[in-house]
């Protein structure tokens, strides 16, 4: 029987090291689990087979060594050119790792299996580094901290809580579910923005084409046929706009680019970020959607952290840093300060004037009954449904609105060009 060295945690989260004898690794894992331990790493001591087993039998010639296979040449891109790890890739990795650990596979072996299967080079390198770190005696959560651009504080702290409680596979499943639902909401909001952006780009493109390529030709026609007579006010306005765009095209483009850059720089400041997020929450039509999606994200994150065993103060700090909205981050900071002083979450939530009364009431009930994590997740599910309804309603309003805007812009230009034509036709008819 082979001897296997293992690293495991007991029900209290205390790390234990030792060895067991078993015919294979799967039975070694079973033996460790039968002792009430949760293995995080396990491997054979002294290799898979003995050296004697590998020696040829006496009097027999050793087989000739096979020809050396040609080396595989792997072209590796520089780090700055490697693909980023998308949320979809990370969610899939988490779900697969949870399945492997839940099936009884040691964590180290699971990481190596995923390393061979992962197509993303950046994630594959991270898995290789984490495997080496875990094999060297580090915990899984400690190995995650070496890759902060891939695994954020939420991910690391939930894994740490899972390791402490001996329920790593449960926490990984929760992480995967959390990421899947968050990505679903994000994609729905993005999908609602696609149509208006496409129509807006089309409107700008058509308007620019008419101003640069079509209207100048009409200008020449009007100058020839009207003999200097004044144009209608709307036609003159369109003509002046066309002339301005043609003479100052680079200035217009540069001005737009400059405004975008200044806005980006403004949002990177503390005051600018807060002002922009306030405007987002109060924006007509879109403000309600932004508020609901932000509350859904906040409550789901906090509920998932608390359900995984993360201490409440630490969970509030993580939520504060991952909300994506400065107004809600400030409200969560106030909640953190109040809880630190021994108060409840309800009063600072109500004082922020960001959260609806229903959210505040459900949080209060959750605190009183001791079922706060479950109550927060129920709030998140409720607001997920409200986001779905808001996206559907917003899409149904925006589509005809954008069509009207496009029709008004193009229609104004067309009418402006036809009014002088009518005047010219009338003049020619009176002369005849």
pLDDT for position 54: 37
**Under CATH, what is the fold of the domain 85-179?**
Receptor-associated Protein (1.20.81)
**Taking the model in full, what pTM does it have?**
0.64
**Under CATH, what is the fold of the domain 2-47?**
Ubiquitin-like (UB roll) (3.10.20)
SS3 labels along the chain: CEEEEEEEECCCCCEEEEEEEECCHHHHHHHHHHCCCEEEEEEECCCCCCHHHHCCCCCCCCCCCCCCCCCCCCCCCCHHHCCCCCHHHHHHHHHHHHHHHHCCCCHHHHHHHHHHHCCCHHHHHHHHHHHHHHHCCCCHHHHHCCCCCCCCHHHHHHHHHHHHHCCHHHHHHHHHHHHHHHHHHHHHHHHHHHHHHHHHHHHHHHHHHHHHHHHHHHHHHHHHHHCCCCCCHHHHHHHHHHHHHHHCHHHHHHHHHHHHHHHHHHHHCHHHHHHHHHHHHHCCCHHHHHHHHHHHHHHHHHHHHHHCCCCHHHHHHHHHHHCCCHHHHHHHHHHHHHHHCCCCCHHHHHHHCCCCHHHHHHHHHHHHHCCHHHHHHHHHHHHHHHHHHHHHHHHHHHHHHHHHHHHHHHHHHHHHHHHHHHHHHHHHHHHC
pLDDT for position 261: 93
In CATH, what is the architecture of 194-432? Up-down Bundle (1.20)
pLDDT for position 79: 56
pLDDT for position 58: 40
pLDDT tens for the chain, 432 residues long, are 778 888 877 766 677 888 888 887 777 777 877 787 777 777 777 544 333 333 444 444 444 444 444 444 444 445 545 567 788 888 888 888 888 888 888 888 888 888 888 888 888 888 999 988 888 888 888 898 888 888 888 888 888 888 877 778 888 888 888 888 878 877 877 777 787 788 888 888 888 888 888 888 888 788 777 766 778 888 888 888 888 888 887 888 888 899 999 998 988 888 888 898 889 888 887 888 888 888 888 888 888 888 888 888 888 988 888 888 888 989 999 999 999 988 888 888 888 888 889 999 999 999 888 889 899 989 988 988 888 888 878 778 887 888 888 888 888 888 888 888 877 777 666 665
Say whether 85-179 and 2-47 share the same fold: no
Domain ranges across the chain: 2-47, 85-179, 194-432
């Amino acid at each position: 029987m082979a001897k296997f060295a293992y690293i495991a945690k007991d029900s209290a989260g205390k790390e234990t090291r030792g060895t067991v004898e078993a015919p294979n690794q799967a039975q070694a894992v079973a033996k460790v689990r039968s002792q009430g331990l949760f293995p995080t790493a396990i491997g054979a001591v002294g290799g898979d087979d003995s050296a004697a087993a590998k020696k040829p039998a006496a009097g027999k010639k050793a087989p000739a060594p096979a020809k050396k296979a040609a080396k595989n040449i792997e072209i590796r891109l520089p780090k700055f050119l490697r693909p980023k790890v998308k949320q979809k890739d990370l969610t899939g990795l988490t779900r697969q790792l949870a399945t492997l650990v839940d099936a009884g596979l040691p964590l180290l072996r699971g990481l190596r299996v995923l390393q061979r299967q992962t197509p993303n080079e950046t994630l594959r390198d991270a898995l290789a580094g984490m495997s080496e770190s875990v094999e060297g005696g580090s915990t899984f959560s400690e190995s995650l901290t070496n890759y902060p651009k891939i695994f954020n504080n939420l991910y690391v702290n939930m894994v740490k809580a899972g390791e402490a409680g001996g329920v790593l596979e449960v926490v990984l499943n929760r992480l995967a579910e959390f990421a899947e639902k968050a990505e679903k909401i994000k994609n729905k909001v993005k999908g609602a923005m696609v149509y208006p952006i496409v129509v807006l780009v089309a409107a700008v493109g058509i308007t620019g084409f008419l101003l640069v390529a079509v209207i100048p030709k009409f200008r020449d026609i009007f100058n020839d046929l009207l003999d200097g007579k004044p144009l209608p006010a709307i036609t003159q306005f369109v003509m002046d706009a066309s002339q301005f765009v043609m003479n100052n095209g680079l200035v217009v483009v540069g001005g737009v680019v400059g405004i975008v850059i200044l806005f980006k720089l403004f949002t990177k400041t503390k005051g600018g970020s807060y002002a922009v997020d306030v405007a987002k929450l109060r924006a007509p039509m879109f403000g309600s959607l932004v508020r609901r999606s932000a509350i859904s994200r906040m409550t789901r994150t906090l509920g998932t952290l608390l359900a995984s065993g993360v201490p409440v103060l630490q969970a509030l700090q993580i939520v504060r840093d991952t909300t994506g909205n400065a107004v809600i981050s400030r409200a969560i900071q106030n909640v953190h300060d109040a809880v630190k002083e021994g108060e409840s979450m309800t009063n600072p939530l109500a004082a922020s004037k960001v959260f609806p009364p229903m959210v505040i009431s459900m949080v209060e009930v959750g605190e009183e009954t001791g079922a706060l994590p479950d109550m927060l997740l129920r709030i998140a599910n409720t607001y997920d449904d409200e986001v779905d309804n808001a996206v559907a309603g917003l899409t149904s309003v925006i589509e005809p609105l954008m069509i009207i805007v496009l029709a008004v812009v193009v229609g104004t230009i067309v009418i402006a060009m036809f009014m002088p034509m009518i005047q010219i036709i009338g003049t020619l008819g009176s002369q005849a």
